Structure formats: structure tokens, C-alpha cells
Structure 1
Amino acid sequence: MRIAKRASFNHQRWSIIACTFALAVCILSGCSENIEERADMRLSQPNNPTQEVLFVDDHTVNCTGVTPMQCMRVREDSEREWQLMYQQISGFNYEKGFRYELLVDVTTIENPPQDSASKQYRLIKIISKTATLPQ
């Protein structure tokens, strides 16, 4: 009788341990999936874009990003100095010999790779396109 009670007690004890372990595994695996899903959502959802006006010069210049390339010269204000833009503006087809005033969406990229831009630009509309004299 004592052996049967002891066996029954050990069986109950192991059943409780097994159930607790199974419950812990289920809870932890559910948490890790939620964490991964939230991380994926953060990576896939861009920040809300802001609209900006960009002025684009009539010629490109040699520059070096990851490799040697041609960069557009841009500025956010007609009075500021020209800055080099190492990336393209999505939806914009640049033509040499024209100065542009563009309305663009600018999206900031959180944690971009080291060799990538921290902002993405997308053309909303061309406000003006003015031919310049050949230089």
C-alpha cells in the first residue's frame, strides 16, 4: 500500500512538473512570436512622411558614395548653398539643363544600414521646370 501511495505521489508530482514546463514553453513561445511580429511591424512601417520643397540644379556633379557616381545638387531653400544628393527621388526623371522646384515626401528611415541614406524621397509633383542656358 505504501509503495502504491508513493508511486501515485511521484506520478502526480511529475505530472505537475510536466504541465508547468509545457505551460511555460507555450507562454514563452507566444511572447517571442509577439516580439518578433512587433519588430517586423516597426521595420515594415515607415515613419509618416513629411512634405518638403526641394530645388534641383541644372547639372549633376561627380561624387563618391559606395562607388563613384553622378549626384544631383539640391537645396531646400533658394537662398541656401547647394548640397549633394547621393540617392534618387522616386518617381522623378531628372533631365540635365533644367532647374526644378519639386514637392516631395521625405520619409526618415530608422536605423538604416551604414551604406544607406537615412531618408527616402518620393516625388509628389513638379512645381516648376525651367530651362537654363548651356554652359
Structure 2
Amino acid sequence: MKKTLFIASLAGMFAFASCQGTKEQKQEAVEEVSAEETLNTAEAPETKETEDIVTMFIGPKQVDCTGVGPMKCLQVKETEDGEWTLFYSSIQGFEYEEGYNYKLEVRREDVPNPPADAPSIRYILVKEISKTKA
């Protein structure tokens, strides 16, 4: 019994000692993480805000389309003389009213880990530039 207790005590001390690093090693690890966080936060806001803002032109009618099932899609183009394409998503903050042409400023954001049947990009209204009767 004493022998088992002695062996268990030695194993516990060994496990505890192996988890301990020197004070310098711990400080270096903290400094590396802090430097990475500083780099990541310094780079991200500058590029994301300007690159993800787009102008969208919205047509006056929704049309039948098929996504996961039958639905109505907006007709959208990114330039005034561009081709109309079907828009299967929604634009947060935008209330569509049929019979009007819209010019919008929209921010696109990546959706982290979207479900398999959901879009990987989220659209958010920044500004309604114009709304004209069709």
C-alpha cells in the first residue's frame, strides 16, 4: 500500500513539474500572442470598410426564381448600364416597394460558418441614394 502511494505521489509531482515552464518562456508566449493580436486588429478595420461597400441598382419588379424552393427575387445590377441579375438574398435595413427603381449603397460582409442552405455573404443597407417611380 505504501509503495503504491509513493509511486502515485512521484507520478503526480512529475506531471506537475512537466507543466511548469520558466518565467521567461511564459512571458515570451504572452508577448507573441499580444503581437499577433495587435497586427490583426491594426490591419482589419482599414481594408474591410472600404472594400466591401458597393453601389446596387434595384429594378422595379420582383421575379419568380428558385432558391431552396420557389421564391421572389430582386433584379439587381452593379452598374447603371449593366445586365440585370437575380438577387436571392435580402438587404438588411432595406424595405423594397414594387414599382420603384432604387440606387443603394450596400455593405457586404462575410458570414462566418454559414449553414449549408444559407448565403455566405450578408448585405446591409448603408444609404438609399435614390428612389424613382418606374
- Report TM bin, short chain: 0.5 to 0.7
Q: TM-score, normalised by structure 2?
A: 0.67
Matched, 1:86 2:88: yes
Alpha carbons of structure 1 residues 83 and 23: separation in structure 2 relative to 1, 3 Å: farther
Question: Using the alignment, how far apart are the partners of 1:95 and 1:125 within structure 2?
Answer: 16
Instruction: Compute the displacement of 1:109 (Å).
Output: 2.1
Gaps of 5+ in 2: 20-47
Gaps of 5+ in 1: 1-6, 26-47
Q: TM-score, normalised by structure 1?
A: 0.66
1:29-48 aligned at under 5 Å gives the runs 48=48
Aligned residues: 104
Question: Using the alignment, how far apart are the partners of 2:127 and 2:70 within structure 1?
Answer: 29
Choose which of 107, 110, 133 in structure 1 pairs with 2:109: 107
Alpha carbons of structure 1 residues 114 and 24: separation in structure 2 relative to 1, 3 Å: farther
Instruction: Compute the displacement of 1:72 (Å).
Output: 0.3
Question: Using the alignment, how far apart are the partners of 1:129 and 1:21 within structure 2?
Answer: 70
Choose which of 1, 6, 9 in structure 2 pairs with 1:12: 6
Larger radius of gyration: 1
Instruction: Compute the displacement of 1:20 (Å).
Output: 4.5
Instruction: Compute the displacement of 1:12 (Å).
Output: 3.4
Instruction: Compute the displacement of 1:52 (Å).
Output: 0.8
Question: Using the alignment, how far apart are the partners of 1:108 and 1:15 within structure 2?
Answer: 52
Question: Using the alignment, how far apart are the partners of 1:105 and 1:90 within structure 2?
Answer: 10
The range that moved more, 49-58 or 111-120, is 111-120
Question: Using the alignment, how far apart are the partners of 1:105 and 1:22 within structure 2?
Answer: 52
Matched, 1:59 2:61: yes
